[in-house]
Structure 1
Amino acid sequence: MPITPKPMLISGNANRPLAQEIARYAAMNSGMDIRLLDSRVEKFNDKEIFVEVYENVRGEDMFIIQPTSNPANDNLMELLIIADALRRSSAARITAVMPYFGYARQDRRTKARTPISAKLVANLIVEAGIHRVLTMDLHATQIQGFFDIPVDNLYASPVFALDIMHHFGERMDKVTIISPDVGGVARARDLAQRIGSGLSIVDKRRSKPGEIAEMKVIGDVEGKICIIVDDICDTAGTLCKAAEVLIEHGAAEVHSYITHGVLSGPAVERIENSVMKHLVITDSIEATQPVKDARKIRIVPSAPLFSQAILNTWEGTSVSSLFDVNTLKPLYKGSKWGQKI
């Protein structure tokens, strides 16, 4: 049962456009007056972060919308300081809505004398007084176990499935899903099952960190429309190389669906010059101007998904129901999926 009359939303500076869209969808779907709380989150001259909330939050069910994307440390500190301000103002419950969970790639010790930074971040979040975390496509699902509070991990695959069926509807028999490495097979298999397509794998082997010695395709991609699926695209080197290998093995077209478009360094230029026809990402990370201007990059919205997850959390109903394509279909009715592929 709801513990307050309505959910209260507040946002840091990491992705204000997404936060505003989440608030808009939440208000539209619930019929309640839901908006972003009036507050300020800014930096002093020495770069210390300062937060001030201008509205009463005593006894309220609070949702902080703040991905911890680049600059990861600033955005993480904003999240923690907002949580501290709300806790000291007697908020009843605080949920961190983190569309992108930074430091998730540091989820284990890969060699001696290295940290497990994802666990450290989990500890900081709990100590800040946050009661629950809502995120999407964690790089490693075991990160949920790093927390001593509930963590709801949403999936982009139902949204991607809707987008793929919209764009490739008449050619779905030619579509095959590609995992860019063995570790991502579970994610790729899930999407393949949702759309009823085949599955292949690009097996990459590294000669040393940062360098790929060779790539081999496991499965038949001859004449297929190949869709590479992954959770993060950073510099896009591996992604573009995988696309080349698929074309060399006879693929008719290569597209990519990536949840979190980090897209740092030369990523946008690589994608624009690659053999890929399109890269589709979500808006979990606020797009830079080069990403917005890129001819081959298209952004699908995550606000309908997160807004309903917030409402379900507030109401005390199932969040896992949002894993189903049929549940999401009404939420995305009328969505503008972008240019035809």
Structure 2
Amino acid sequence: MHHQSQPKLISGNANLSLARAISRRVSMSRGMSVGLVDARVERFADQEIFVEVYENVRGEDMFIVQSTSNPANDNLMELLIMADALRRSSASRVTGVLPYFGYARQDRRAKARTPISAKLVANMIAASGIDRVLTMDLHAAQIQGFFDIPVDNLYASPVFALDIRHKFKKKLDKVTVVSPDVGGVARARELASRIGCALAIVDKRREKAGEVAEMTVIGDVAGQTCIIVDDICDTAGTLVKAADTLLGEGAKEVHAYITHGVLSGPAVGRITNSAMKSLVITDSIEPSEEVKKADNIRIVPTAPMFAQAILNIWNGTSVSSLFNHEALEAIYEGTY
């Protein structure tokens, strides 16, 4: 058990609203105010990042909340420089809380003379003085092995399961969970088993990066409410085409549950104009005003889960208890 009276949270500029929500949840659980540590994280005129921590953090258990989302390089550098500032200020332990871990899609060499950038980023994070990482829905589970420090990878599927049970409670027998590609089958199967429904797969063939040539549905979706589940939605091209393919196979309606709403470029417009009834994302990435205004995009909060995980790490208790939707039900009480 730590001698500190409470964990200390600090945030970069990537997702301040989530960091504040986490600090509120930690305060509620602790029965005392656990605000974000006062610091400035800003740019010099030449865009170099500068960090100054205004509070004493000597001997403290520090948690840096910072998604490495767009602009990925700026947010990653903020994380590394904040970690260095805390290390040099004699913090006893530094945990990087990365709700979204950028560069995760570069996790292997798909062809010759290409980098494995996810491994490089893992090396940089460990070298900056971060002792452990807390993240959610890594693009590939093996990325945990890229780190030589402990990595706790939380899952959005228990939170999604709660949401689906609430939103579709009268027609769960008519719900089919769909993986938008063969690589995401394990994620989709896991969610399907949580809510006790059928599973289908959309098999896609790519001609070149960013373009999908053809899609085939494996499984019977006729008359079903289809829920596409995936970890990342970037330009939404694949997602919208998968929804059209499912409707073409006789699906009654299509919804999507995606952990990380990257939503680059034309994504929001594509989703708004698509045949999909709704897209549900988490707030792992700070949603833009365009995303907030979109009628068929809904955001579920991750602060209750991250706050509990931070308290469990600080207390030295199990984080894997949060993989269970029954355990999360108590944490999310009042949200649904």
The correspondence of residues 205-216 of structure 1 with structure 2, limited to 5 A, is: 205-216=205-216
Once the two structures are TM-superposed, the CA of residue 3 in structure 1 deviates from its matched residue by 4.6
Q: Output the CA distance in 1 between the equivalents of 2:296 and 2:43.
A: 35
Counterpart secondary structure, 2:223: coil
1:29-40 to structure 2, matched below 5 A, reads 29-40=29-40
Question: Residue 10 of structure 2 corresponds to which residue in structure 1?
Answer: 10
Q: Does residue 233 of structure 2 align to residue 240 of structure 1?
A: no
Q: 3-state DSSP class of the match of 1:280? A: strand
Aligned to 2:73: 73
Report the Cα distance in structure 2 between the residues aligned to 1:185 and 1:72, rounded to whole angstroms.
27
What TM-score do the two structures reach when normalised by structure 1? 0.98
Q: Which amino acid aligns with 2:119?
A: K
Match of 1:125 in 2: 125
Partner residue, 1:318: 318
Q: Report the Cα offset of residue 32 of structure 1.
A: 3.0
Once the 2 structures are TM-superposed, how far is the Cα of residue 95 of structure 1 from its aligned partner?
0.1
Post-superposition shift, 1:210? 2.3
CA deviations on 1:298-319 (whole Å, 9 max, x unpaired) are 0000000000000000000000
Measured against aligned partners, the alpha-carbon deviations of 1:193-223 in whole angstroms (never above 9, x if no partner) come to: 1000100000001123222221000001010
2:254 corresponding residue in structure 1: 254
Post-superposition Cα deviations, 1:88-116, rounded to whole Å, max 9, x if no partner, equal 00000000000000000000111111110
Structure 1 position 303 matched with structure 2 position 303 = yes
Three-state SS of the structure 1 residue aligned to 2:170 is: helix
2: distance between equivalents of 1:245 and 1:303? 34
Mapped partners of 1:208, 1:34: distance in 2: 49
Contact 1:23 1:307 (C-alpha < 8 Å) held by counterparts = yes
Work out the CA distance in 1 between the residues paired with 2:39 and 2:212: 47
Look up the match of 1:115: 115
Q: 1:3 touches 1:61 (CA, 8 Å); kept in 2?
A: no
Which letter maps to 2:26? Answer: A
Q: CA deviation at 1:134?
A: 0.1
Task: For 2:166 and 2:36, locate their aligned partners in 1 and report how far apart those are by CA, in whole Å.
Answer: 32
The residue that corresponds to 1:294 in the other structure is 294
Cα deviation, residue 125, structure 1: 0.4
Counterpart amino acid of residue 132 in structure 1? R
Q: Alignment partner of 2:165: what SS?
A: helix
Q: Is the 8 A contact 1:122 1:146 kept in 2?
A: yes
Task: Identify unmatched segments of 5+ residues in structure 1.
Answer: none
1:104 aligns with 2:101: no
Letter of the structure 1 residue corresponding to residue 72 of structure 2? A
Tell whether 2:150 aligns with 1:150: yes
Aligned residue for 1:169, secondary structure, equals coil
C-alpha contact (below 8 Å) 1:67/1:100 kept by paired residues = yes
How large is the RMSD of aligned CA atoms in angstroms?
Answer: 0.7
Runs of 4+ in 1 over 4 A off after TM superposition: none
Residue type at the aligned position of 2:254: V
CA distance in 2, matches of 1:140, 1:151: 13
Percent identical pairs in the alignment equals 73
Pairing of 1:194-213 with structure 2 (within 5 A): 194-213=194-213
Q: List runs of 5+ in structure 2 lacking aligned partners.
A: none
Distance in 1 separating the partners of 2:4 and 2:231: 35
Aligned equivalents of 1:189, 1:34: Cα separation in 2: 38
Q: Give a deviation string over 1:101-137, Cα, whole Å, max 9, x none.
A: 0000000111111110000000000000000000000
